[in-house]
């Protein structure tokens, strides 16, 4: 395939950024269709790209002759329908997380792909493509540090969107740490506990922020996540792995430290598209390259389903209190 024609479904902040990325940064692909329920917004985005057509119906865009692959960046509740349509058409897909908002719908997507008999969907857990996380994963695979015992994560946003709810801190934010934990450790998460510190005065009324989430894994590791989405000072994602013979930490953001005017320091990213810009670039390029080869690499539908199941247990732990076990179906051989 000389050039991949991509339909981008959803032209909000993430979708519009992916349109720009594919048009200006990625090689081997171009945006041939954009889809949004807001017809005017879709037209405005399409007008920026040569040969791009605006749609309001995802199925119509996916059926277009110049569409070879699909990138789903619409809100999570709309993912299942788009994914099932893409699988019916046997189109390769990159779906931004979450795969779907809950385990039951994720299982329906998993079953549709299993019946197809081959992987067609990659889930957009972009931290797997971040340079620091990739180095941490490589270090762990050497075995130099010994077996992982604990993993500490911090996930902070300057401010949360107005529509954010307490459960979304887990389903929309901690979802990333869910995948990072499974990927770095090679373990499945078996139980979730959520502790509730007193809310910050900066959080909107009734929003439980911050939260302290604890994972247990089938490999015997214990993992904690501080999720704090109204910290006020910027966007931070950090992780420290504690192993038998050493530790390793990423995310300190010390690429450049300045000394001036009687102060030393650096800058803190204010947004995820800034902090993970390179990771998104690598992710999209890797997806395009694999698709042109006729392959699917990266996080699978199984990874999306497992994350959804863990987040469901986490929301129950938040709302009901106590330790909640994670229930997973048997892993199909397609994802072995």
- Same fold for the pair 4-127+278-298 and 131-274+307-335: no
Q: Among positive and negative, which fits the CA dihedral 291, 173, 84, 44?
A: negative
Q: What is the phi/psi pair of residue 250, to 5°?
A: -130, 160
**Domains of the chain: which residue ranges?**
4-127+278-298, 131-274+307-335
What DSSP line would sit under 236-249, residue for residue? EEEEEEEETTEEEE
pLDDT for 256 equals: 65
Q: Note down pLDDT in tens along the chain; length 336 residues.
A: 689 999 999 999 999 999 999 999 999 999 999 999 999 999 999 999 999 999 999 999 999 999 999 999 999 999 999 999 999 999 999 999 999 999 999 999 999 999 999 999 999 999 999 999 999 999 999 999 999 999 999 999 999 999 999 999 999 999 999 999 999 999 999 999 999 999 999 999 999 999 999 999 999 999 999 999 999 989 999 999 999 999 999 998 766 666 667 887 777 777 777 888 899 999 999 999 999 999 999 999 999 999 999 999 999 999 999 999 999 999 999 998
Assigned fold of 4-127+278-298? Rossmann fold (3.40.50)
Q: How would DSSP label each residue in 180-221?
A: HHHHHH---EEEEEEE-PPPPTTSPTT---SEEEEEEETTS-
Cα 287 to the center of its chain, rounded Å: 14
Q: What global pTM score does this model have?
A: 0.93
Q: Looking at the structure, give the CATH architecture of the domain made up of residues 131-274+307-335.
A: 2-Layer Sandwich (3.30)
């Amino acid at each position: 395939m000389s050039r991949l024609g991509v339909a981008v479904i959803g032209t909000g902040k993430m979708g519009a950024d992916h349109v720009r990325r594919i048009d200006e940064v990625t090689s081997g692909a171009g945006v041939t269709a954009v889809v949004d329920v807001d017809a005017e917004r879709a037209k405005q985005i399409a007008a920026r790209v040569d040969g791009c057509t605006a749609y309001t119906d995802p199925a119509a865009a996916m059926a277009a002759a110049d569409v070879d692959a699909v990138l789903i960046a619409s809100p999570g509740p709309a993912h299942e329908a788009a994914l099932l349509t893409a699988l019916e058409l046997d189109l390769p897909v990159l779906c931004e997380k979450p795969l779907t908002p809950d385990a039951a719908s994720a299982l329906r997507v998993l079953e549709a792909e299993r019946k197809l008999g081959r992987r067609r969907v990659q889930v957009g857990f972009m931290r797997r493509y971040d340079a620091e996380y990739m180095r941490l994963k490589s270090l762990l695979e050497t075995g130099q540090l010994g077996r992982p015992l604990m993993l500490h994560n911090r996930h902070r946003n300057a401010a949360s969107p107005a529509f954010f709810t307490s459960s979304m801190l887990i389903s929309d934010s901690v979802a990333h740490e869910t995948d990072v934990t499974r990927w770095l450790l090679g373990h499945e998460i078996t139980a979730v506990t959520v502790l509730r510190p007193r809310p910050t005065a900066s959080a909107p009324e009734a929003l439980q922020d911050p939260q302290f989430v604890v994972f247990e894994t089938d490999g015997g590791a214990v993992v904690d996540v501080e999720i704090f989405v109204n910290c006020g000072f910027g966007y931070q994602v950090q992780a420290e792995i504690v192993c038998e013979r050493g530790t390793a930490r990423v995310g300190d953001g010390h690429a450049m430290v300045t000394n001036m005017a009687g102060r030393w320091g650096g800058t803190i990213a204010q947004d995820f598209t800034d902090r993970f810009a390179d990771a998104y670039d690598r992710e999209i390029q890797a997806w395009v390259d694999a698709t042109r080869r006729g392959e699917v690499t990266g996080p699978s539908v199984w990874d999306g389903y497992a994350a959804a199941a863990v987040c469901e247990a986490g929301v129950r732990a938040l709302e009901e209190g106590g330790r909640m076990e994670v229930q997973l179906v048997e892993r199909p051989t397609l994802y072995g």
